[in-house]
Amino acid sequence: MGKPHPVELRQRVVDHVAEGNTHRSTAARFKVSVKFVNDMVKLKATTGGLVPKARGNDGGHGKLAALKDWVARRIAKKRNLTAAGLASEIAATLGMAVHRGSVWRLLRELGLTQKKRPAGRRAEAPRGERLIDHAPFGYWHTQTFIAALRHDRLDAPWVIDGPINRIRHAA
């Protein structure tokens, strides 16, 4: 969506019509549409001014705006809650149907991010803070699985504790 015309142009258009010129000639002179000229003349007559209307909703006016504190407390209690899970909880506990996209926008507005953990699950932590959670086997590490895939079976499975490197590849 484009920006509104400047107030100076609006004023010149209205002044040109006030001098006795037609709407069509004014539109041709200022290279605007006839509808724009009509709208500006009506706006000046009804409001006395030519300031464009405010656009957009300034954010935060949705139905989740009242739930910001509740959502922040809920995420603080259960950090690995997804946007879809949070939308389900809002529907179950508060009886408000919301889309997970709306919940995600609220989480982003609150400064919460979704960080992918090495285990492949998603977690949320306040921006700039580390996510504290448990790790399987006591530490995060890489396991490499190598196998021969046949049309009817899997042959020679080999699990390496760590990434593949030159020495392990040669073995």
Q: Answer yes or no: is pLDDT of 28 > 90.
A: yes
pLDDT at residue 170 in the model? 78
DSSP 7-75: HHHHHHHHHHHHTT--HHHHHHHHT--HHHHHHHHHHHHHHS--PPPP-S--SS-STTGGGHHHHHHHH
pTM over 0.85: no
Q: Check the CA dihedral 141-146-149-154 and report its sign.
A: negative
pLDDT at residue 139 in the model? 62
Domain boundaries, the chain: 7-47, 65-126, 141-171
pLDDT at residue 23 in the model? 96
Q: Answer yes or no: is pLDDT of 106 > 70.
A: yes
Task: Determine the Cα–Cα distance for residues 97 and 119; give it in Å rounded to an integer.
Answer: 31
Considering the chain, what is the average pLDDT of its residues? 83
Fold of 65-126: Arc Repressor Mutant, subunit A (1.10.10)
Model pLDDT for residues 109-145, shown as the tens digit of each residue: 888 765 544 545 555 667 777 776 666 665 667 778 8
- Greater confidence (145 vs 14) lies with 14
Of 36-45, 79-88, 137-146, minimum mean pLDDT range: 137-146
